[in-house]
Amino acid sequence: MDLNVRQELKRAGLALDWPERLQVPIEFGAHGRALPLGEEVPVADDSWRMVHVKLKPISRLWTVAEKTPLALRAPPRHDAFLYLLQSTAVIYCTAMDKPETDAEFERLYRMLRQRPDGLDCHPLFSYLQGAARLYLSLCSVSRAEYEDLLQRLGKLAQRFRSHPDSTAYHDKVLSPHFSA
């Protein structure tokens, strides 16, 4: 958790009680291409108040382990984390007017789990990473919890993959639950 980020968002008038109501808007560059995010991330609330905040790398935001790996088998207590990442994925796909494949979602979630502070050539990775950094700045999450949540997202995308170009995860999970 990052108390400085919490204070900065509060000063900007953003409500922090429901992190899942926040979003990481897509920023565009030349020719309508999504610009990858860096250290500074745009954050908007559901009334479109927006502020750019500097967020720490994910590995610097984990808290001390609160649960043993065995206790992680219980349903996640961070549903807002899952919601924020998946809604970010929908916002990105809608902005780009193209759903990503199930295999690509699975790869991006795996990359985010295995190399949380890494870089990827796909701009969506930086937005998923930005959403994760935002949530971890607002809520206490251990490394084990974080990895478990990302593994669940990856397995969900994998479960829907029926062929290499399948977009079933987007079409059946993301769009129905997160589109306006």
State the Cα–Cα distance between residues 76 and 57, nearest whole angstrom. Answer: 22
Least confident of 67-71, 147-151, 164-168, 171-175: 67-71
For residue 9, give both structure tokens: 């968002």
Q: Whose CA is closest to 12, among 55, 68, 61, 51?
A: 51
Q: Which residue segment(s) compose the domain that 173 sits in?
A: 3-178
* Amino acid type, 11: R
Q: Whose CA is closest to 129, among 140, 139, 116, 120?
A: 116
State the Cα–Cα distance between residues 73 and 52, nearest whole angstrom. Answer: 36
The residues pairing with 81 across neighbouring beta strands, listed in sequence order, are: none
For residue 102, give both structure tokens: 């199930």
Number of structural domains (the chain) is 1
For 80-127, how does the pLDDT look when each residue is reduced to its tens digit (9 = 90+)?
999 999 999 999 999 999 999 999 999 999 999 999 999 999 999 999
Strand boundaries in 38-98, DSSP class E: 40-44, 50-54
For 13-68, how does the pLDDT look when each residue is reduced to its tens digit (9 = 90+)?
998 888 889 999 999 998 889 999 999 999 999 888 999 999 999 999 998 765 55
pTM greater than 0.85: yes
What is the three-class DSSP state of 56? Answer: coil
Least confident of 59-63, 165-169, 174-178: 174-178
